[in-house]
């Protein structure tokens, strides 16, 4: 359960970063104050995202946790439709279903935890 919460938090940070970057592109540099505020939020979210991945990478194998990033594509389709009025497309829905099924298959992996130390000693 803790793993699911941690991965959900990192996915939410990834999606928030994408949302803020899209918002930055829409605001543009003309009104400088909103542009700078959103840009600052992007930097904060990016830092939190890196910290979250470092925590996950310390305890779990990269080949197990990294495929969860692909769920951002699925979530971004729905965020784009809800927040930016992007059009619905069946091929995106089908692609999202394939990605979700693939990630669910990967979660059944036996080797999830990082064995021993995650740092390479020279």
First-last CA distance in the chain: 35
pLDDT at 115: 67
pLDDT at 47: 92
Block mean pLDDT (10 aa), the chain, length 122:
84 88 77 80 90 86 84 90 90 93 84 60 37
By C-alpha distance, which of 12, 58, 111 is closest to 4?
A: 12
Is 66 within 8 Å of 10 (Cβ atoms)?
Answer: no
pLDDT at 27: 73
Q: How far apart are CA 64 and CA 70, in angstroms?
A: 12
pLDDT at 22: 84
Q: Please indicate, yes or no, whether the overall pTM of this predicted structure exceeds 0.85.
A: no
pLDDT at 97: 93
pLDDT at 111: 67
Is 110 within 8 Å of 58 (Cβ atoms)?
Answer: no
């Amino acid at each position: 359960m803790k793993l699911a919460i941690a991965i959900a938090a990192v996915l939410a940070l990834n999606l928030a970063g994408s949302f803020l970057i899209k918002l930055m592109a829409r605001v543009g540099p003309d009104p400088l104050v909103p542009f700078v505020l959103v840009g600052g939020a992007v930097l904060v979210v990016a830092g939190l995202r890196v910290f979250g991945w470092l925590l996950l990478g310390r305890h779990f194998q990269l080949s197990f946790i990294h495929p969860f990033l692909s769920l951002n594509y699925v979530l971004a389709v729905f965020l784009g439709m809800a927040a930016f009025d992007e059009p619905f497309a069946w091929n995106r829905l089908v692609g999202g279903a394939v990605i979700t099924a693939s990630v669910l298959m990967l979660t059944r992996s036996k080797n999830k935890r990082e064995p021993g130390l995650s740092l390479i000693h020279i």
